[in-house]
Each structure stands twice: as C-alpha cells, then as structure tokens.
Amino acid sequence: ARQGRRRGDHQGGGVLTHVVLQILGVAAVAVVELWAAVPLGMAMGLAAPLVWAATLAGALLGIAGVVLAGDRLRTWLVSRVGRGRTREGGRARRLWDRYGVIGWGLVAPLLLGAPLAAAVGVALGADRRRLILWLGAGAALWTTALTVAVALGVDALRAVG
C-alpha cells in the first residue's frame, strides 16, 4: 500500500496532523498569553471556533496549573518578597479589596494575562476553586471578545482586498 507514495503526497493524514499541531501550538501559546494565541491561530488559517477552543483550553490549563501549584508558589513568593514588604496600596490589592475574586477573575486576564492573574490571586490568598472558576470565566469572556474582533477584522480585510 505504501508503494508508489512519494514524499509530499498526502492522503489526509498529513493534513490532519498539521492542523492538530497548529491547534496544539495555539493552546501552548495561550497557556502563557491568550492575547497572542488568537491572532496566531487566525494567521495560521484556523477557523475561529477552533481558535477560540484551543485558546480557551490553553488559558484554562495555565490558570489551573498556577492555582494548583499555589501553595508552593505562595510560600516561594512570601520567602522572596517577605510578608510585610508587599505594597499595601498597590493596584492589584485595591482591585482585590474593591471587587474580590469575581471582579479580579473577570478583569485580570485582560490586564495581566491568565497565568499571572492566577499567581497574583494565589498570592492575595484567594480560595482556589473560586479563583479557577472566575479566572476561567474571565478567560472565556476575553477569548470570545478577541476571537470575534480578530475574525471580524480578517473578514473586513478580505472584503476590502
């Protein structure tokens, strides 16, 4: 069955593998920064729903990883910064005091990126389950907004050109 196949001939398996690798690449970028993942996926030519799903999956993985490693992370941060040396009036602390875990979860992925928002939430002493829930909701909100905006922008550029 393999006789006669030359390098570069595709019977579907190569294309599928390529698309799966693109999706995994978008998800891997989203673990660190969801704002870079959406334009990357769209530039690769992936469909907007695939970009959205891969980006959200990656962001959720990043959030969960940081939050679940939270006890070690918090101990490390306190040992490095010291309990009394954190800025009491810092922007993150003021946001946290004013809006709590819900406000932080919805806004912080936009301001800091999902993993850093998770790390700050852990450092501020958030309940892990609530932090994952609300950061996940925030990541879903901003991933949706960015995916729609980029998809509309791509469509508008195609209509003009």
- pLDDT tens per residue, range 104-132: 999 989 888 899 999 889 888 889 999 99
Q: How far apart are CA 89 and CA 76, in angstroms?
A: 22
pLDDT (mean) for 26-39: 94
- The radius of gyration of the chain's CA atoms, rounded to the nearest angstrom, is 20
- pLDDT tens per residue, range 43-102: 999 999 999 999 999 999 999 999 998 777 667 766 776 555 445 557 777 878 888 999
pTM as predicted: 0.80
Per the CB < 8 A criterion, the answer to whether 121 and 100 are in contact is no
Per the CB < 8 A criterion, the answer to whether 132 and 63 are in contact is yes
